[in-house]
Amino acid sequence: MADTVNKTLDPQVDRRGFLKGCTMAAAALGLSDAMIPKLVEAAATAERPRVIWLHFQECTGCTETLLRGSHPDLARLILDIISLDYHETVMAAAGHQAEHNLMETVEKHPFILVVEGAIPRKDGGIYCKIAGKTAMDILAEVAPKASAIISIGTCASFGGVQAASPNPTGAAGVQDYPELVGGTPIINIPGCPPNPISFLGTILHYLTFKRLPALDSMNRPLFAYGRKIHDQCERRAHFNEGRFVEQYGDEAHKLGYCLYKVGCKGPETFANCPAVRFNDVSVWPVSVGHGCAGCTEPNFWDTMTPFYERLPNVNIPVAGIVAGADSVGKKVLGVTAAAVGIHAAVGIGKRLVKGKNDDD
Amino acid sequence: MAQRITIDPITRIEGHLRIDVEVDGGEITKAWSSGQMYRGLENILKGRDPRDAWLFTQRICGVCTTVHALASVRAVENALGLEIPLNAQLIRNMVQAIHCLHDHIVHFYALSALDWVDVVSALDADPVATAKLADSLSDWPGNSPKRFAAVKDKLKALVASGQLGPFANAYWGHSAMKLPPEANLMAVSHYLEALDYQRKATQALGIIGGKNPHIQNLGVGGVTTNLNPDNETAVTMERLYYIKQLISEVKEFVNMVYVTDVVAVGALYAEWLPYGAGVTNYLAAPDMFTDAAGTKADLPGGTVFDGDLGTMKPISSLNDSYFKENVEESIARTWYDGDWSKHPWESSTEPKYTDFEDEGRYSWIKAPRFQGKPMQVGPLAQMVVGYAQGHKLTVKSVNAVLDRISAVAGVKVGPEILHSTIGRHAARAVRAGMMADLCLDHWELLVNNIGSGDLEIFNPPTFPQGEQRGVGVHEAPRGILSHWIVIQDGKIKNYQCVVPSTWNAGPRDAAGQPGPYEASLMGNPIADPERPLEVLRTIHSFDPCIACAVHMLDPEGKEVVKVKAL
């Protein structure tokens, strides 16, 4: 269907086919019929697609990650690809001039909404206010009119660091406010912050195919969150052979052995970090000798901590049998390849994230 | 009659800030700075493993990424009396220096240049004349007529599209915009180039930190960045020379473009030099330590009061009692329960929101005080303190920039012009140049140490029973940062952050003394109350970071020394 949708979204084709295509695209996107006129307008004009970017309870790390993106880089993104109509960190206007820009786009144009940061619910939401309105008020005003919502980062996706126990402000992610969002489709791009590649890839996919990429059960794009870190890790062979770092800076650490015993959360974390890496310099946390913190998973600040303690119930295949980490020596050398290919049997520990316990 | 202006949100900053001013006779006569977001991170840390704290606190801010990580590991190490290996110290220094390069460049171009540069006016510029102007200021090879013509075409296309995006409805054509079209076009071109050079800095940081924003190579006890020249998973000489090349390129940009543009703005907006001094008490932390113990700093720390260089008192180590014993935070005018002033180790936090009250409570940001006085922190504070100490690199770098401003303005200016809105920009540019030099110096120290056979990066922490107290001090891009921790039986009992933007953006205290943002706005001209560009100029010169500024602390009803309100 994708090809039909793409062809019929081309404004050059006849009007009837065009409208039909928009209807199909709306269905593919899970949009209500009321959204079709907006989609028609967006597709029929040569305008750069408009993007509104809202900041709530956040650290701006997700915006900063865009400064690191290289393809497209930020200048190309905002000058050639999208029209970034509202973004507090970047926009020249401030105060009521800025708010005017926001309402202009919300009321008059179709737009994609990007949300960075969590939304506090406690005490009527007074813990985050912009232009005199709470984050909840702003979300209710903007989100239902958006074509789609991209929740960038773990905060907008799942609540993030401010939602960690005891969650003093009642912070939650966008998808936790269905009553404010009003049926607009939501894509989560978690990570703290996420790799810009995952965000930009989603934007480019959406703009090109006019539909969302395939998502997992937590609304994360499969192209970026489809596999476990553990299954893509360059140190996986060391895990399989039972070669572990026992302490940062020890001989095993100097040799690049597996970081599971010093707290790596790769066995329970779904993300593309080992595959796409960061900053265009082929790095990710494990490549600088630190374990994965599990930052793309919901509630990782509670479920993956203490960060320097190992995950429970992860068994290690060694010499053809499955053994606990404690019974495996630091350097089990000369083990046959028999162990390779047997995937780690990841038990359902108390910290294990629901629905994510199946190995791919 | 006084007119009230509320600017909310203040954009091109990190976080949610509201500024209110009263304008009378074209001048600001009253000002309020209000943080509009609260997350409670310090409460979230209670009861957790102290080794985890740096990962949490780094998320205080993604613009100031790295800084809360560094301050946090130092706080725990200070509490435990744990020294880190020299390699770890040097790697942390490089993290600090590289992040600073990125941060200062982004601040000047992406976050503040549009207060001084009229993007629309650049459409009237002649690219050849622009190149001539640029060549008169710097030998930067990017300043060619072709480049400027291409940027002008790009701008034209943007305007013709009718979709100005982030440049819509701003302050173009404002009477306070004074640059000629050619200077504006040059600046817009550099605005775009800056995006490329800040990225180079983040690449260098990525090589050490595994990723950024939010590096992941620290630990209480050192760093995890493996230094093994003979292992493919470690930082080898190829990686180290990659960093050196990237930093050398960024250094060129800083010296030939960034510093030059600040000099040009300073000289062409000379009428702005009298504005924005505000609080002239300055506080800076020592940093970039060349020894494992943290006693020999390449960046000078200390205090200066009332802008008088003769009052300079140094802060010289990570454990200096002059700093540790003199910090308090007041919550009298904040949305926290109580009206005390307390030392950070004694603090607690209970939010109590009242809405915005001019004469009462109006901010989530606390009001830190040093010996009861408000202090300005940031690159300017560090330059003033270093200049007062006769710190060689500072004196040389500051004088070089003052000479360049004098040459372009055609008037001799001295260090007194630094106490101003423009002075804060100049000091930040000077600091960027210094940090580029220091980064390469510390790269050399690291390589030499590796060459001597020392590959140590980590001293494992152990947590004894009982209570330990520590402070982690760090000179971040926005100024002195301190994390204060109390550990009980290996768990966090109390954690408080006293952050640069808390010092600068904080509200009045119990004695009614305004914070530095508020004080610096007094007397600023306002040409058009509907478009209060001048407020943005002064506020942006501090490089606000409101996510950083708001967290929580509680003081106890101690008397604050009354001093003359500035």
pLDDT in tens, B420-443: 999 999 999 999 999 999 999 999
Name the range with the highest mean pLDDT among A94-103, A348-357, B197-206: B197-206
Q: Count CB atoms within 10 A of the CB of residue B156.
A: 12
d(CA A63, CA A68): 9
Q: Are B102 and B202 in contact (CB under 8 A)?
A: yes
Three-state secondary structure call for residue B421 = helix
Which pLDDT value is given to residue B354?
86
| pLDDT at residue A254 tops 80 | yes
Q: Are B91 and B205 in contact (CB under 8 A)?
A: no
What is the distance between the alpha carbons of residues A71 and A201, in angstroms, rounded to a whole number? 9
- Which of B159-173, B402-416, B540-554 is the least confident region? B540-554
Per-position DSSP letters for A172-190, written without gaps between them: E-GGG-HHHHTT--EEEE-
Give the DSSP letter of residue B536: H
Round to whole Å and give the CA distance between B343 and B346. 5
Interface with B, mutate which of A56, A60, A102 (most B CBs under 10 A)? A60
Contact B59 A192 (CB under 8 A): yes
Q: What is the pLDDT of residue A45?
A: 55
**Widest CA span in chain A:** 70
Rounded to an integer, what is the distance from CA B295 to the centroid of its chain?
23
Would you place residue B395 in the very low, low, confident or very high pLDDT band (cuts 50, 70, 90)? very high
Query: Contact B212/A91, CB-based, under 8 Å?
Result: no
Decide if pLDDT at A96 tops 50.
yes
Q: List active site positions of B.
A: 14, 61, 64, 68, 478, 501, 545, 548
The single-letter DSSP state of residue A77 is I
DSSP label of B143:
-
Q: State residue B546's pLDDT score.
A: 80
Backbone angles phi, psi at B381, to 5 degrees: -60, -40
Write a three-state SS string for B245-260: HHHHHHHHHHHHHHHH
DSSP-derived letter for residue A230 is G
Residues in B touching A306 (Cβ below 8 Å): 48-49, 51-52
Q: Residues B354, B355, B360, CA angle at the centre, nearest 5°?
A: 70
Of A64, A290, A305, the CB nearest to B224: A290
Nearest CA in chain A to B13: A89
Q: What is the pLDDT of residue A4?
A: 32
| Contact present, B483 and B356 (Cβ < 8 Å) | no
Q: Are A88 and B11 inside 8 Å of each other by CB?
A: yes
pLDDT at A352: 33
| Structure confidence at residue B2 (pLDDT) | 86
Please, which pLDDT band fits residue A97 given cuts at 50, 70 and 90? very high
Which residues does A160 contact at the CB level (< 8 Å), separation at least 6?
A57, A58, A117, A118, A153, A154, A171, A173, A192, A301, B59
What's the mean per-residue pLDDT of chain A?
Answer: 83
pLDDT of residue B364: 85
Res. A329: pLDDT tops 50: no
Contacts of B162 (CB under 8 A, 6+ apart): none
Q: What phi and psi values does residue B49 have, to the nearest 5 degrees?
A: -70, 125
DSSP codes, A233-290: -TTHHHHHTT-B-SSTTSHHHHTT-B-GGGT--GGG-B--HHHH-BTTTTB-GGGGT-
The answer, yes or no, to whether residue A148 has pLDDT greater than 70, is yes
CATH of domain A47-225: 3.40.50.700
SS3 label, residue B14: strand
Measured in whole angstroms, the distance separating CA B422 from the mean position of its chain's CA atoms is 15
Choose among B78, B470, B461: nearest CA to A306: B461
pLDDT at B291: 96
Q: Does A333 touch chain B (CB under 8 A)?
A: no
Quick: pLDDT tens for B54-102. Answer: 999 999 998 889 999 999 999 999 999 999 999 999 999 999 999 999 9
Taking residues B236-244, report their average pLDDT.
97
A237 reaches B (C-beta below 8 A): no
From chain B, pick out residues whose CB is under 8 angstroms from the CB of A307. 49, 51-52, 55
Using the beta-carbon criterion (under 8 Å), do B210 and A93 form an inter-chain contact? no
Of the candidates A85, A169, A249, the beta carbon closest to that of B457 is on A249
Neighbours of B297 (CB within 10 A): 21
Ranges of each domain in chain B: 3-115+193-549
DSSP class of residue B507 equals: -
Query: Whole-model pTM?
Result: 0.89
Q: Does A78 touch chain B (CB under 8 A)?
A: yes
**Residue B342 token pair:** 């307390």
CA distances to A24, A340, B218, B233 from A255, rounded to whole Å, are 55, 20, 18, 7
Q: Does A130 touch chain B (CB under 8 A)?
A: yes
A235: nearest Cα among A284, A279, A270:
A284
Q: Which H or E run includes A148?
A: strand A148-152
Q: Where in chain A is the domain with CATH 4.10.480.10?
A: 229-339
Asked if A130 lies within 8 A of B16 by C-beta distance, the reply is yes
B485: which 2 tokens? 């921790």
Q: How far is B234 from chain A (nearest CA, A)?
A: 7
Residues near B279 by beta carbon (within 8 Å), at least 6 away in sequence: B374, B375, B376, B514, B515, B516, B519, B520, B566
Question: Who among B60, B198, B460 is closest to A247 (CB)?
Answer: B460
Residue A178 has pLDDT above 60, yes or no: yes
CB of A76 less than 8 A from some CB of B = no
State mean pLDDT over A262-272: 97
- Give the CA-trace dihedral at B18, B22, B27, B32, to 10 degrees: -40
Q: What is the mean pLDDT of chain B?
A: 93
Angle between helices B67-80 and B86-106 (to 10 degrees): 150
- Find the mean pLDDT for residues A172-200: 97
Domain B3-115+193-549 matching CATH 2.40.50.500: the answer reads: no
Residue B411, amino acid:
V
> What is the length of chain B?
566
Helix intervals (H) in B67-180: 67-80, 86-106, 127-137, 145-160
Give the model's pLDDT for residue A239. 94
pLDDT interval class at A324 (50, 70, 90): low
Q: Given an 8 Å threshold on Cβ–Cβ distance, is B195 in contact with A73?
A: yes
Distance from CA of B418 to the nearest CA of A (A): 26
What are the tokens at B381?
Answer: 């504070």
Q: How confident is the model at residue A318 (pLDDT cuts 50, 70, 90)?
A: low
Whole-number pLDDT of residue B39: 83
How far is the C-alpha of B350 from the C-alpha of B347, rounded, in Å?
10
Q: Which residue type is seen at B364?
A: W
> Is the confidence at residue A19, as pLDDT, over 70?
no
Instruction: Flag if B532 and A59 touch (Cβ within 8 Å).
Output: no
Q: Do A288 and B168 touch (CB under 8 A)?
A: no
What's the CATH number of domain A229-339, 1.20.1530.20, 4.10.480.10, 3.40.1260.10, 3.30.479.30? Answer: 4.10.480.10
Q: Which of A151-155, A300-304, A334-338, B351-355 has the lowest mean pLDDT?
A: A334-338
R_g of chain A computed on alpha carbons? 23
Among candidate residues B476, B479, B472, B289, the one with its CA nearest the CA of residue B384: B479
Comparing CB atoms, the residue among A85, A91, A131 nearest residue B8 is A131
Tell if the CB–CB gap between B242 and A281 is shorter than 8 Å. Answer: yes
- A-B CB pairs within 8 A amount to 289
pLDDT tier at B42 (50, 70, 90 boundaries)? confident
- Higher-confidence position of A356 and B200: B200
DSSP line for B333-397: TBSBSS--EE-GGG----B------TTS--BSS-EEEETTB--B-SHHHHHHHHHHHT-HHHHHH
What residues of chain B lie within 8 A of the CB of A91, using their CB? 11-12, 166-168, 170
User: Which two three-digit tokens encode residue B138?
Assistant: 């710097």
Question: Is a pLDDT exceeding 60 seen at residue B255?
Answer: yes
